Structure 1
Amino acid sequence: MKRVSIGLLAGLFFSAWVSAGITENIKSLNDQGKFAEAYKLAQNQLDSFEGDPKFDLQYGVAAIDSGHISEGIFALERVVFLEPNNALAKLELARAYFLLKQLDKSRTLFNQVKAANPPPVVMARINQFLEQITNKTTIPPTKFSGFAELWAGYDDNINSGPGGQTQVVTLSDSALGRGDQFNQIRLNGSVEHAYSPQESLLFSANADFRYYHTEPEQNYKSFTVNGSHLWKRDSEQYQLGFTTQNYQIDRENYRTLIGMNGVWSKQLTSNSVLKSFAGVNSLNYASLTWKDATQINLGTNYLYAGSGKWQPLFFVGGFLGDESPKVDGVLAAGQVDRLFFGANAGVQLTPYQDVTFTPSVTYQGSRFEGNDWIYNIKRQDDFYMLNLNLEWVMHPSWSLLANYSFTDVNSNIEIYEYDRQQIMFGLRYNFQ
């Protein structure tokens, strides 16, 4: 009997020694970030060591971080059942519940560990998770915002006309490019109403009025209303909405626009975002009905927040679209029916705490389907624009603004070529 007992004890000691060795190997792989290898090793030893809290802890971590979250939860639940005061197991289990969106269970375990006053590094990590849980489970209040802007500036080509007479067509003086001073008013109001932690309704209204000093026939007004539904899903957002716009020139309706659009965005890293969009618009002109068209567009933008003294925020994007006339005709084929494409890039810089400077460039190419009715060739336009924007936030509600833009349009048809410069200074009041 004594020999049997000694043999049994030796067997148990050897089994525990092997278990400790396997567990250390799994832990070492976990510490190196080799979670898939750790999970595979644990799976091979599962029949022998499942139920050992030390083994189950490392097995649970490997399973969670290799994508087998449910398996990891079962392993860690065994550990917590056998060792109710095992703070590390509770932390890993709380993280697993969070990943499976079992947020109430996750919050309970995080708070249990937090109550034990863990080290500062662990406490900070717990607080980050608890903040995310609060954001995911709390419906934020309805937000109202808006602004009013007053501008004064100079536009050296108010009608986007060529700078001089063309060779084929003799233009009237009113058709040539000319400059004038202007004043401008911009108004905006928006509301965001969340009816769940992940779903919101958004509405906005904008008005833009420009008044030229000596060329009132070029005055314009635009009124735009937007509405959309926003879905938030972890690092992704989806937005589906509508837009409607009325554009007037010299106090008469010129064009109306009605459209639908969708936006998908994804937080790639802590400092980068990818956005893609698509939309369809119906354009209707009050008198120039041959311009009526359906416009389809899609594109992608990438934003990256860099590091450094000026806190650069880089952005770059591209787009592609098609504009098709609603009514066929010679004029529509040569001046409406087109494929357009382009790109933009820029950076927002913060040289001082309350000052932002944003230079950007834009290119758009347009290739028309039919021959121009005068020149009898297919029109090809290339649009280039440099934009410089400066904002100084003097007070949370007040900002001084400055903007300069230079536009250069090249075309294989001379009457569509022009340059344009605008410089303007403004004052904004923000409503919160």
Structure 2
Amino acid sequence: MRLRFLSCLALGSALLVGTAHAEWDDTLKQALSLAESGSAQKAFEMLEPQEMQRSGDPDFDLVLGIAANQAGHYTRAIFALERVLMVTPNNARARAELGHALYAVGDNAGAKTMLGQAKEQGIPTEAARTIDQLLQTIERIEAEAKTTTRGYLEATAGFDNNVNSAPDSKTFGLKPVSSQFGGMGLGISGRTAIAPRWSAIGSLSASFRAHETNALAYDNTQIDASAGAAYLVDRNEYTVALQLGNSTIASVSARSSWSVTGEWTHRFDGFRQFNAYAQLGQLRYPQQTRNVDRYTVGASYGQQFKSGLSAYGSGYIGQEITMEPGVGHLGQQFIGARVGLQRPFSAALAGFATVSLEDRGYNGPDPFFGSVRHDQQWGLTLGAIWVPAKAWRVTSQWAYLQNVSNLSTSTFEKQTLSITARREF
């Protein structure tokens, strides 16, 4: 992995305080130019044969350390940069680069010390901001590696104009049922270190939603649990977890599920993150003959900008394969995407918006309609988050969902208004 968080820094006196020589030879100038223009490996190969003869020259060792850092030769970078600091202890660039190399080999404590000292010595604003981002990443990783427990309790109230997701055409006597609703939810998650870089992770959540008298048949509960392990190395986290779920409608079991998910998360810095996952599992419907094996792969990217605006995007693809004979038409292939934004207006108020799209193609002709079902679904959510006090969060939102299908009984739209108050522990 190439950690190039200081490659944007041009050669300048602010970062070369304490350098012994006023003039650099052409070799060093060319090597530094190569390193900072994306050709660090070439720069490293240019300087490496001269290391025995020029080791101890702080100018040479600094450029060698920068090139080694950029090319991913972190141990070589550490040796070279430590030599620089022995001769010129006030060299902020060398100290920052050494912090970078120490972080790359997993020495978070040493990295924090070096990066903090480099910042205190006085460096350009952009470099200081980049160091802050890396320090935040280190602190987050250290916090996640310790034993932590988080929980929440929430209450929700709202209105759904189509609880049963019925088509507007009233085909076969179906019609939308609207209702007010109220609900409760709670959850707990935890992580505990079990070995260097290894942690055990787990979570448990439950929710309940109740409707008005005309929609009691749609009261529902959902319980989910997961347990697994996580491995942290550098800016990467790898997790494997077993997930179990069960839902009921009108107190009758409607669906149960299990899945195994493997996930990779890469944190570029304190403000950018990439995630990829693969999941396999089963969905079981006790009241219906439509049990399926489900396979999904997906990826997401999120970023927080200097303005405070956060954005993310995700995509996924997968399929469901029916487990019983005679219902192969209920299997499907699906592909979907989601994008979202959150903008803070103050320390206590933020607005958000998400858009989702999904396309589903089924595996065979429907026995009643005689055609192969094909659905396209999209949704829009707009809302606001208010933080009235520490550990409290109030979320109000409007959600619109439309499913367009070539089968009239599967085309519907619905709108939901809700407000949720959550207390985190």
Kindly indicate whether the alpha-carbon contact (under 8 Å) linking 1:158 and 1:180 is maintained by their aligned counterparts in 2.
Answer: yes
> Counterparts in 2 of 1:311-322, with a 5 A limit?
311-322=308-319
Q: Indicate how the Cα distance of structure 1 residues 369 and 92 shifts in structure 2: closer, same or farther if over 3 A, else same.
A: closer
- Tell me what 1:414 maps to: 408
Closer, same or farther: CA 57–360 of 1 in aligned 2, 3 Å: same
- Alpha-carbon deviation of 1:90? 7.7
Q: Any residues of structure 2 matched to 1:65-104 within 5 Å, and which? A: 65-72=70-77, 88=91, 91=95, 94-95=98-99, 98=102, 101=105, 103=107
Contact 1:282/1:293 (<8 A) preserved: yes
Shift of residue 287, structure 1, vs aligned partner: 2.2
CA RMSD of aligned residues (A): 3.6
* Equivalent position amino acid for 2:155 in 1: L
Assess if the C-alpha contact under 8 Å between 1:135 and 1:197 holds in 2: no
Residues 100-145 of structure 1: CA deviation (Å, up to 9, x unaligned): 627399579959x96x998344997999989987877898542221
Whether the 8 Å CA contact 2:133–2:269 is kept in 1: the answer is no
Q: Determine the C-alpha separation between the residues in 2 that align with 1:364 and 1:148.
A: 31
Is the radius of gyration larger for structure 1 or structure 2?
1
Candidates 119, 122, 127, aligned match of 2:121: 119
Note the alpha carbon deviations across 1:252-278, whole angstroms, 9 max, x for none. Answer: 111110111111121235532211111
Verify: 1:146 aligned to 2:151, yes or no. Answer: yes
Q: Distance in 2 between matches of 1:263 and 1:405?
A: 29
Who is 1:281 aligned against?
A: 281
CA displacement, residues 296-345 of structure 1 (integer Å, 9 cap, x when unaligned)? 1111111122233xx2111111111100011121xx222x2111111111
Structure 2 partner of 1:356: 350
In structure 2, what is the equivalent of residue 53 of structure 1? Answer: 57
Distance 1:92 1:393 in 2: 37
Query: Offset of 1:21 from its aligned partner?
Result: 11
Q: Which amino acid aligns with 1:161?
A: A
Match of 2:324 in 1: 327
**Counterparts of 1:346 and 1:287, CA distance in 2:** 36
Contact kept? 2:32, 2:43, Cα under 8 Å = no
- Is 1:157 aligned with 2:156? no
Residues 1:60 and 1:146: Cα distance change in structure 2 (over 3 Å): same
> 1 CA distance for matches of 2:112 and 2:303?
36
Question: What is the alpha-carbon distance in structure 1 between the residues aligned to residue 418 and residue 107 of structure 2?
Answer: 51
Task: Classify 1:41/1:424 alpha carbon distance in 2 versus 1 (closer, same or farther; 3 Å).
Answer: closer
Q: Report SS of the residue matched to 1:352.
A: coil
Q: TM-score with structure 2 length normalisation? A: 0.80
| Cα distance in 1 for residues equivalent to 2:231 and 2:345 | 35
Aligned partners of 1:27 and 1:58 also within 8 Å: no
- Name the residue aligned to 2:177: 178
CA distance in 1, matches of 2:137, 2:393: 33
Whole-Å separation in 1 of the counterparts to 2:123 and 2:84: 23
Structure 1's 359 and 25: CA in aligned 2 closer, same or farther, altered over 3 A?
same
1:201-212 → structure 2 map (5 Å cutoff): 201-212=200-211
The letter of the residue matching 1:263 is E
Say if 1:316 and 1:345, in contact at 8 Å, map to a contact too: yes
The answer on whether the counterparts of 1:151 and 1:184 sit within 8 Å (CA) in structure 2 is yes
After TM superposition, the score normalised by the length of structure 1 is 0.79
Structure 1 counterpart SS, 2:287: coil
Q: What amino acid maps onto 1:209 in structure 2?
A: F
Paired residues of 2:78 and 2:102 also in contact (CA < 8 A): no
Structure 1 residue identity aligned to 2:376: D
Which digits, 9 at most, give the CA deviation of each residue in 1:332-382, with x for residues without a partner? 222x21111111111011122211221111111111111111110001111
CA separation of 1:58/1:306 partners in 2, compared to 1, >3 Å: closer, same or farther?
closer
SS at match of 1:407: strand
Counterpart secondary structure, 1:394: coil
CA distance in 2, matches of 1:387, 1:223: 24
Q: 1:302 to 1:71 in 2, by over 3 A?
A: closer
Matched, 1:188 2:187: yes
Change (3 A) 1:96 1:304: closer
Report the alpha carbon displacement of residue 195 of structure 1 after superposing the two structures with TM: 3.0
CA offset digits 1:58-77 (Å, max 9, x no partner): 56334444444455556567
Q: What secondary structure is seen at the aligned counterpart in 2 of 1:202?
A: strand
The reply to whether residue 345 of structure 1 matches residue 339 of structure 2 is yes
* Partner of residue 257, structure 1: 257
**Aligned CA distance change for structure 1 residues 187 and 99 (closer, same or farther; 3 Å):** closer
- CA drift of 1:25 comes to 2.3
Distance in 2 (alpha carbons) for counterparts of 1:281 and 1:23: 61
Name stretches of at least 5 consecutive residues in structure 1 with no aligned partner: 1-19
Q: In 2, Cα distance between the equivalents of 1:258 and 1:386?
A: 28
Task: Count residues in correspondence.
Answer: 395
Matched, 1:241 2:241: yes
What percentage of residue pairs aligned between the two structures are identical?
19
Which residue in 1 is equivalent to 2:15? none
| Contact 1:339–1:367 (Cα < 8 Å) also in 2 | yes
Cα distance in structure 1, aligned partners of 2:137 and 2:272: 19
Name the amino acid aligned to 1:273. Answer: Q
* Secondary structure, aligned partner of 2:345: strand
Partner of 2:226: 226
1:14: which partner in 2? none
Q: Which residue of 2 aligns with 1:394?
A: 388
SS in 2 for 1:162: coil
What is the alpha-carbon distance in structure 1 between the residues aligned to residue 134 and residue 421 of structure 2? 41
- Aligned partners of 1:301, 1:350: CA distance in 2, in Å? 22
